[in-house]
Amino acid sequence: MAVSKGFLDFVVEQLAGCGPIVTKRMFGGAGLYAGEIFFGIVDDDVLYLKVDDDTRGHFAGAGSTPFKPYPGRPDSKQYYTVPVSVLEDAGELTRWGRLAIAAALRGRGGSSRSGRRRNP
Which residues 6+ apart lie within 8 Å of 22 measured at CB? 32, 33, 34
More confident call, 6 vs 74: 6
Does 96 fall in a domain?
yes
Does 50 fall in a domain?
yes
Residue 8 has pLDDT above 90, yes or no: yes
Q: Using one digit for the tens of pLDDT, what is the confidence trace for 19-76?
A: 999 999 987 789 999 999 999 999 999 999 999 999 999 999 998 988 876 666 655 6
Does 115 fall in a domain?
no
Does 117 fall in a domain?
no
Q: Assign residue 81 the CATH number of its domain.
A: 3.30.1460.30
Amino acid at 44: D
Rounded distance between C-alpha atoms, residue 50 and residue 96, angstroms: 10
Does 114 fall in a domain?
no
Residue 1 has pLDDT above 80, yes or no: no
Residue 37: strand, helix, or coil = strand
Amino acid at 13: E
Domain count, the chain: 1
pTM as predicted: 0.83
Q: Is 14 in contact with 82 (CB distance < 8 Å)?
A: no
Q: Using one digit for the tens of pLDDT, what is the confidence trace for 77-90?
A: 789 999 999 999 99
Residue 117 has pLDDT above 60, yes or no: no
Structural domain of residue 82, as residue ranges?
5-107
Does 21 fall in a domain?
yes
Does 67 fall in a domain?
yes
Does 15 fall in a domain?
yes
